[in-house]
Amino acid sequence: MKYSILFALLLFFGVSLQAQTQTGSMLIKNGTVHTVTNGTLENTDILVVDGKIQEIGSNLRAPRGAEEIDATGMHVMPGIIDAHSHIAIDAVNEATNPVTAEVWVGDALDPLDVSIYRALAGGVTASHSMHGSANAIGGECETIKHRYGTYNPNDLRMVGAPRTIKFALGENPMRVHGEGRGIQPATRMGVEQVIRRAFAEAKMYLEAKQKYETARQNGDNTVMPPTYNKRMETLSAILEGDIIIHCHSYRADEIYMLMQVCKDFGVEKLCFQHTNEGFKVAPELAEFGAGASVFADWWAYKFEVYYSTAYNAAILTENGVTTSINSDSGELIRHLYHEAAKTQRYGGLTDEQALALITINPAKQLGIDDRVGSLEEGKDADIAIFNADPLSIYAIPMKTIVDGVVYFDREEDPADMRLDVNPEEVMPAFFQDIQDHKHENCMQDTYMTFEELFRG
C-alpha cells in the first residue's frame, strides 16, 4: 500500500523512473570459483537471483525456470573490469581548451559499438569509458556495464557508480595546447599551473555560491548566485570529494606533482592512469592512497614512455598500491586476462593478486567495489566463465554474464553481432572499424595535422 502511494506520487510529479535494465536468474553448477576476495573454491555452485549473487556453496538448487549452467571443469571468475577504455562513446576529446571539465563522455554513449561485444568475448563485463588526454583537465567519464544489444545509451550506465573525471599530464596536453596553439601548457610546469588555476577558480566559485546561500538564508533577496558555469560546477564537485580523478600520467616527477597539488586543495580521490614510472614512486602513491592503473608491458610509443618495466604492476602491488591493468584499446580489452597473467612472469604475483588487477582493484579505483569485482553473496552477478584457469595461456572465455544475463556465449556466437547496420552498404567497413580502435585513440578528435603533431 505504502509503495503504491509512493509510486503514484512519483508518476504524479512526472519523475521519470530509470529504465529497468534486464536482470536474470541462473545456477552455475560445480565450477572452480575464483572469488578473488575469498580464495578459490573447487566444485562450487553460484546461485544468481534477479541479477544478484544470492548464494555461493554446494548442492544449490536452481529456482524454477532459471537456467542451469554446468561449469564442471570450468573456471568461474568475477567479470573483468577495465579501468581505462574509450569504447562505446561517440566523442573522446573536446580538445579546444586546456580545461574542459564541463563535458561528459557519458552524454555521448554509443550502445551500438560492436567493441562492447568484443570486450564481452574477453570476459569483460564493465569498463570505464574515458575522455581523452588532449587536455590537462578533460571531461567526465562514465562507468558502463556491457549490456550489449540495447539501442538505449542509458542502459549501459552503471547507475550509482561515482562520478569520475579525466586529467592528463605531460606531452599530450603540451602538444595540443602548447605546441599546437602557443598557449599554456607548453611545459610540464605549465600543466601543473593549469590544474592549480582551475582548482583555485573553482574554490572562488564555491565561495560565491556559499555567499549567495548564506545571504538567502539571512533573508537577503538582493544577492544573485554566481553565473552558472558548468566547468566550475564540475571542478568544485572535485574539491568537494564527489568526483574521482583519473589522471593520464607517465613520469614519476609529474605523478608526485599531482599528489602535491591534490593535497594542497584537499582532494583525496585520485587514481593514476598508465603510470609507467609508478614503480619509482610506489611508496608515495601508497601513502597518499592513490590508485595506479597500468599496462602490463606497453611502452616506448612516445618520448615520455621509454622508462618502463613489465614489473611495474608487481612493484606497485607489493608496495600496497591499489593497482589495475587496463586496455586503453578495443583490441587489448579482449584479453586482459593475458595481461594480468604477465605479472606472474614479471614479478611473481599470486593467482589472486594477478586476478585482482583486472577485477576488484579496478572496481576499487572506480568506486564500485561494493557491487562488482569479486564473487561474493549480495554482489551483482557479473561473471566470466573460462574453460581453463583464466591465467593460463590456453584459457578461452566461454560465457560472460552481466546482471545474471548471458551476453556472450561461445557456443552461441553469431557471425554478425552488429547492431548498427548501414542499409546502403552491404559490405561493412570492417577495416575502418579496426582503425577506429587503434592504439592511442585517446588523442581522437584533436584538431591537429601530422606536421603539428610531430613538429619540433
Partner 1 sequence: MVLAFLAMGLSLQAQSMEDALKPVTRTYAFTNATIIPQPGQQVTGATIVVKDGLIQAMGTNVSVPANAKVVDADSMFIYAGFIDGLSNAGVPRPEREQNGPSRGRRPDGVNPGDPPRELAGVTPEKQVRGELKHDEKSVEDLRELGFTAAHVVPRGRMLPGKGSIILLAGESGEDMLLAEGVSQFVQFSSAPGVFPATVIGVMAKFTELYKQAEQMQMHMEAYAKNPKGMDRPERNEALEALVPVVNGELPVFFMAPDVKSIYRVMRMQDDLGFDVVMTGVKEAWHVVDELDGKNIPVIVSLELPDPPKEKKKKEGEEEAMDEEMKMLQQRASERMTEFESQAATLAKAGIAFGFSTMEASAKDIRENLRRMIKNGLTEEQALASLTTNPANMLGLSNSMGTLEEGKMGNLVVTDGNYFEEGSNVRFVMADGHLFEYEAKKAAAKGDPNASAKIGGSWAYSVNVPGQTAEGTLKLTQEDGEITGEISNSQSPETTDIEDAVLEGNKLTFLAPIAMGGQSITLEFSIVINGDEMEGTVSVGEFGTFDVEGYREGTPE
> Could you list the residues that contact partner 1 (CB under 8 A)?
16, 90-98, 100, 102-105, 107-112, 131, 139, 151-154, 181, 221-222, 224-225, 227-230, 415-416, 418, 421-428, 445, 447
3-state secondary structure of 385: strand
Amino acid identity, position 265:
F
Identity of the residue, 112 or 388, whose beta carbon is nearer to partner 1 in the bound complex = 112
| 154 or 260: CB nearest partner 1 | 154
Q: Which is nearer to partner 1, 59 or 227 (CB)?
A: 227
- Closest CB to partner 1 among residues 34, 177: 177
Minimum distance, C-beta of residue 112 to partner 1, in the bound complex (Å): 7
Find, among 413, 298, 367, 356, the residue nearest to 158 by Cα. Answer: 367
Q: How far is the CB of 382 from partner 1 (least distance, A)?
A: 24
C-alpha to C-alpha distance for 70 and 53, rounded to whole angstroms: 17
How many angstroms separate the CA atoms of 417 and 43, rounded?
33
Q: Can you tell me the distance from the alpha carbon of 327 to that of 452, in angstroms, rounded to the nearest whole number? A: 27
Cβ-based nearer residue to partner 1, 411 or 416: 416
Closest to partner 1 by CB, 303 vs 450, is 450
Closest separation between CB of residue 81 and partner 1, Å?
A: 23
Angle, to 10 degrees, between the axis of helix 252-264 and the axis of helix 188-217? 20
Residues 6+ apart with CB under 8 A from 191: 136, 168, 169, 170, 173, 174, 185, 254
- For the bound state, the minimum distance from the C-beta of residue 300 to partner 1, rounded and expressed in Å, comes to 30
Shortest distance in whole angstroms from residue 228 CB to partner 1: 4
Residue 184 CB, nearest distance to partner 1 (Å)? Answer: 11
Closest residue by Cα to residue 79 from 345, 342, 405? 405
* Closer CB to partner 1, 65 or 182, in the complex: 182
What's the min distance (Å) between Cβ of 117 and partner 1?
A: 15
CB of 237 to partner 1, least distance (A): 14
Could you tell me where the beta strands, DSSP code E, fall in 372-443?
A: 383-386, 397-402, 405-409
- Phi-psi label, residue 328: left if phi above 0, alpha if psi -120 to 50, beta otherwise: left
Please give the C-alpha separations between residue 273 and each of 166, 353, 387, in angstroms, as whole numbers: 9, 19, 31
Asked whether the beta carbons of 315 and 353 are under 8 A apart, the reply is: no
259: Cβ–Cβ under 8 A, 6 or more apart, which residues?
270, 284, 285, 288, 290
Of residues 72 and 210, the one with the C-beta less far from partner 1: 210
For helices 230-239 and 188-217, angle between their N-to-C axes, nearest 10 degrees:
90
> Smallest gap, in angstroms, from Cβ of residue 414 to partner 1?
10
Q: How far is the CB of 227 from partner 1 (least distance, A)?
A: 6
1 or 426, CB closer to partner 1?
A: 426
Q: How far apart are CB 436 and partner 1 at their closest, in Å?
A: 15
Q: Cell 591493468 belongs to which residue?
A: 325
- Whether the CB-CB separation of 185 and 193 falls below 8 Å is answered with yes
What does residue 375 show for φ and ψ, rounded to 5 degrees?
-95, 100
Query: How far is the C-alpha of 381 from the C-alpha of 297, rounded, in Å?
Result: 31
| Residue 103 vs 282, nearer CB to partner 1 | 103
Nearer Cβ to partner 1, position 228 or 431? 228
Residue 284 and residue 257 in contact, taking contact as beta carbons nearer than 8 Å = no
Residue 283 grid coordinates:
611508496
Q: Which is nearer to partner 1, 46 or 109 (CB)?
A: 109
Nearest distance from residue 446's CB to partner 1, in Å?
9
Q: How far is CA 364 from CA 92, 248, 400, in A?
A: 24, 18, 21
